[in-house]
Amino acid sequence: MKMLKKIIFLWLTIAAIPAQSQSLEAPKIDKEFLDKIESLAPAKAKIQAPKRKLLVYSQHTGFYHWTIPHNDELLKIMAKKSGAFEVHIAHDIESFEKKNLKQYDAVIFNNCNPSGPKRDLFYDLLKMRSSLSEKEIEAKAKVYQQNFMDYIAKGGGLFIMHGAITVQNNDMAFSRLTGGSFDYHPKQQTIHLKEVDKNHPLVAAFHGDGFTHVDEPYFFNNAYAEHNFRPLLYMESKDITGKREQAHDDIVYLAWVKRHGKGRVLYSSMSHNIQSAYQAELLEFFLDGIQYVTGDLKCDDSVMGK
């Protein structure tokens, strides 16, 4: 019965989308929306642990994902309902000062896309608000980047939502921290994600059925080719329309976990549209992922390799 309801929900959602684009519109953040998320959010976390403190960074300087404020509300609801963590939403560059980062068990990058061609969020934020010279901005941006990389290496956690994989998209060291860099995506379309290992605790939410939703199918470059992560979910590239005329792996990973020094990183491509979260499985996956990056949920995060 549960699977039948899921199939009906997906059919109704996809049938309502114009076939030529399958783009979804932003719902209002009103009582109806908040009540819906409240009803779907997990009642408790899998692992009982002290309440964790999370920094949710929701600033962007490049492409604006309309789901950013929806994700903020979603995370607040999940925090309150589960009692597993508290949320502090930020938009300022000072968030990446060493003394500020030390306050948090983990950071969530909420679609905080930088602009091009630099694809450097720290540079962009300084450029927007600073009277510093170009040379000074570039130097200070490197300091903020290093602050953050050190924070993760010393034991911090990082949960990357969808487009935030681009925060330092041209920097190979940062690409190795995150597990890859954004290359491109075709138009939005229905994507069926499959579990790499159905027994992995971080995909338990999907019950071996995978996850189907409408989203942008991401392709990656830079450190992604090294596969220095433990993959969780994948799509088959043969199922994707609108790909560029270039060689693609048969399997493209869209969610993974990895270690960086003493810290933990999780990437999830699934948050371009808030409608993806209308399936309780995704919210459970998010909560499990948060418990992983805070160090509470232990699992295999060994490197898969080439």
Q: Which residues is 89 bridged to in the sheet?
A: 56
| Per-residue pLDDT tens digits for 10-32 | 444 444 444 334 679 999 999 99
Q: What is the pLDDT of residue 5?
A: 44
| 285 assigned to some structural domain | yes
- What CATH number did the domain enclosing 189 receive? 3.40.50.880
Q: Are 29 and 64 in contact (CB under 8 A)?
A: no
| DSSP run (H or E) holding 260 | strand 251-260
* C-alpha to C-alpha distance for 76 and 100, rounded to whole angstroms: 20
| Residue 281 lies in domain | 52-293
| Domain-located, residue 23 | no
User: Cis omega (within 30 of 0) on the bond before 42?
Assistant: no
SS3 of residue 250 by DSSP: coil
**Please, what is the end-to-end C-alpha distance for the chain in angstroms?**
40
What pLDDT digit, counting tens, does each position of 98-129 carry? 999 999 999 999 999 999 899 999 999 999 88
Which residue type is seen at 220?
A: F
279 and 211 in contact (C-beta within 8 Å)? yes
Residue 45 lies in a domain: no
Q: Is residue 4 part of a domain?
A: no
pLDDT attached to residue 129: 80
- Say if residues 38 and 82 touch (Cβ distance below 8 Å): no
- Give the chain's domain count: 1
Is position 301 within any domain?
no
Query: How many residues are given for the chain?
Result: 306
What pLDDT does 176 receive?
A: 98
Residue 59's pLDDT is what?
96
Residue 9: per-residue pLDDT: 46
Residue at 82 is within a domain: yes
CA distance 22 to 193: 17
Residue 220 lies in a domain: yes
The confidence score (pLDDT) of residue 264 equals: 98
pLDDT of residue 280: 98
Q: Within a domain: residue 278?
A: yes
105 close to 296: Cβ distance less than 8 angstroms: no
pLDDT < 70: residue spans in the chain: 1-22, 306
